[in-house]
C-alpha cells in the first residue's frame, strides 16, 4: 500500500515540477515574437551584457522556484528517501 502511494506522490511531484522549466520557455517565445533581442542589439547593447542579463534574470527566477519548492517539502523525509534509495542501490549492487 505505501509503495503505491509513494509512486503516486512521486508522479504528482514530477508532473508539478515539469511546469517550472516550461515557464522559462514562455519568456523565450514572447521575446522572439516581440523581437526584443533584435531591438536591444540595434539600440547598442553588447551581446555579452544581453546574455549576462538574461542569465541573471533566469537564475533569479529559478532560485525563487527552488526556495518555494524546498520550503514546501520537509527536509527530514527527503533525507530518509535518499538514504533508503542508496541502501536499495547498494543492496542491488552487491547481489
Q: Percent of the chain having pLDDT more than 90?
A: 6
pLDDT at 49: 92
HSE-CB at 37 with a 13 A cutoff on CA atoms is: 14
pLDDT in tens, 41-86: 888 989 999 889 988 988 888 788 777 777 766 655 666 766 666 6
> Is 37 within 8 Å of 50 (Cβ atoms)?
yes
pTM score, two decimals? 0.52
3-state secondary structure 29-62: HHHHHHCHHHHHHHCCCCHHHHHHHHHHHHHHHH
Amino acid at each position: 500500500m505505501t509503495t503505491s502511494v509513494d509512486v503516486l506522490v512521486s508522479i504528482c511531484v514530477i508532473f508539478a515540477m515539469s511546469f517550472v522549466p516550461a515557464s522559462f520557455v514562455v519568456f523565450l517565445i514572447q521575446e522572439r515574437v516581440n523581437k526584443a533581442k533584435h531591438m536591444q542589439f540595434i539600440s547598442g547593447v553588447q551581446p555579452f551584457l544581453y546574455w549576462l542579463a538574461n542569465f541573471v534574470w533566469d537564475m533569479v527566477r529559478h532560485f525563487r522556484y527552488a526556495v518555494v519548492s524546498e520550503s514546501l517539502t520537509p527536509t527530514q523525509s527527503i533525507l530518509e528517501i535518499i538514504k533508503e534509495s542508496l541502501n536499495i542501490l547498494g543492496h542491488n549492487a552487491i547481489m
